[in-house]
Amino acid sequence: MPRPVSNPPNPWTRGAGGYEVEWLGPPPPAEVHVYEEDAREVLAENDSPDVPFRYSVNPYRGCQHACAYCYARPGHQYLGFGAGTDFDTRLVVKRNAPERLRAALMRKSWRRAWVSFSGVTDPYQPLEASYELTRGCLEACRDFKTPVGVITKSALVRRDAALLGRIARDIGARVFLSIPFADPTLARALEPMAPTPAMRFEALRVLSEAGVPTGVSLAPLIPGLNDSQIPELLERARDAGATRAFTILLRLPAEVRPVFVERLTAAFPDRAKKVLSALEDCRAAQPSRSAFGERMRGAGPRWQVARDLFDLHCRRLGLSTSHDDEVEPLSPVEPGGPPEPGGPRAVQGELY
């Protein structure tokens, strides 16, 4: 079981590694409880057709960004915590994540497939500034010639721009910044502890200039709330160097729905009912579909209009989308262990 840390490091006062505190956004208004654990495994394998990656690494559990719509909230209950404010304030650190990942990548059976950071938490949430576990895991992937994909809302990813650039050039890497809102007021209401959209676009620019292939994630798409912002978001992402984009319709599993509805109603009481009604229209009255292959799919004319708007502006701006990518051919690689310098690059298809 995770062990509570009596005096956890404060990333807002410990400027380790020369990063800028401003990249983290504001300090949390509520007390944060940190727990540490020694994980047995950190390389997770996924078999869901709804998720565009097979392998992922999650150095943390829970997330300080406190996004009202986060689909990962229900998983916190397996730790004996709640899916509401506990998810935002009771955070688990897998302190041996880099070591366990190295052990996994050293196995003879490992084929150097793409590894995604992360699947159920943000790998660059504020605690990463102090613990540097994501950076340690990226260094493991670099050493074992394993390509990586990153999805984050955090401007802290700028700290690792040079490392990600080297991995991109030598092995393969891609970073998506999750920026579902152009309006900072709207973003602050539903993503209260995440950096502002402007900071995320700047991180996108820094990564692109470092040679990292970048994209933007307009996820979740919330009909009646942020669908009108699609053109602006895509244009700003393209101007920051992004070459790809994807979007996913909001899904509200049972434990997530009350968190989202409460936050939405408090911030936008005059719009909440219309937004929830529009979401039902796009979900065919099933806002929390759970069947494999259906969980992330929209339906109906309203969803089609939003999807068409997204596709139209991606084509106009020259952004590739997740459903029109050509999959790169597989390259032969030797299984397990660090390869020889100058060995073959492992390319196992597009991550997204």
pLDDT at 2: 82
Closest CA to 39 of 10, 53, 60: 60
Which residues fall within 8 angstroms of residue 13, CB to CB, at 6 or more apart? Answer: none
Which residues fall within 8 angstroms of residue 80, CB to CB, at 6 or more apart? Answer: none
pLDDT at 340: 44
Q: How far apart are CA 68 and CA 319, in angstroms?
A: 28
Which residues fall within 8 angstroms of residue 111, CB to CB, at 6 or more apart? Answer: 333, 335, 346, 348
**Domain at 27-321: CATH architecture:** Alpha-Beta Barrel (3.20)
Q: What is the pLDDT of residues 284-330, one digit of tens each?
A: 645 555 554 555 678 889 999 999 999 999 999 999 985 443 333 22
pLDDT at 46: 80
Q: Where are the domains of the chain?
A: 27-321
Which residues fall within 8 angstroms of residue 233, CB to CB, at 6 or more apart? Answer: 179, 180, 181, 182, 216, 218
Q: How far apart are CA 77 and CA 71, in angstroms?
A: 13
Q: How far apart are CA 240 and CA 210, in angstroms?
A: 12
> Residue 70 — φ and ψ, nearest 5°?
-60, 120
Where helices occur in 179-338 by DSSP H, the ranges are 184-190, 197-209, 230-239, 257-267, 272-282, 300-317
Closest CA to 20 of 216, 199, 215, 192: 199
Structure-token pair, residue 235: 């244009």
For CA atoms 154, 175, 334, 55, give the dihedral sign. Answer: positive
For the chain, which residues score pLDDT lower than 70?
A: 1, 6-7, 12-22, 48-52, 284-296, 322-352
Classified as helix, coil or strand, 174 is strand
Q: How far apart are CA 184 and CA 153, in angstroms?
A: 13
| 8 A C-beta contact, residue 310 and residue 248 | no
Pairing of strands 320-321, 244-249: parallel
Closest CA to 176 of 113, 127, 218, 138: 218
**pTM score, whole prediction:** 0.86
Which residue has 């949390």 as its token pair? 28
Q: How far apart are CA 304 and CA 28, in angstroms?
A: 38
pLDDT at 24: 77
- The rounded Cα 133 to chain-centroid distance in angstroms is 16
Q: What is the pLDDT of residues 99-147, one digit of tens each?
A: 999 999 999 999 999 999 987 899 999 999 999 999 999 999 999 999 9
Residue 59 burial by CB count (10 A; 0-12/13-18/19+): exposed, middle or buried?
buried
Q: What is the distance between the terminal CA atoms of the chain, rounded to a whole angstrom? A: 34
pLDDT at 325: 38
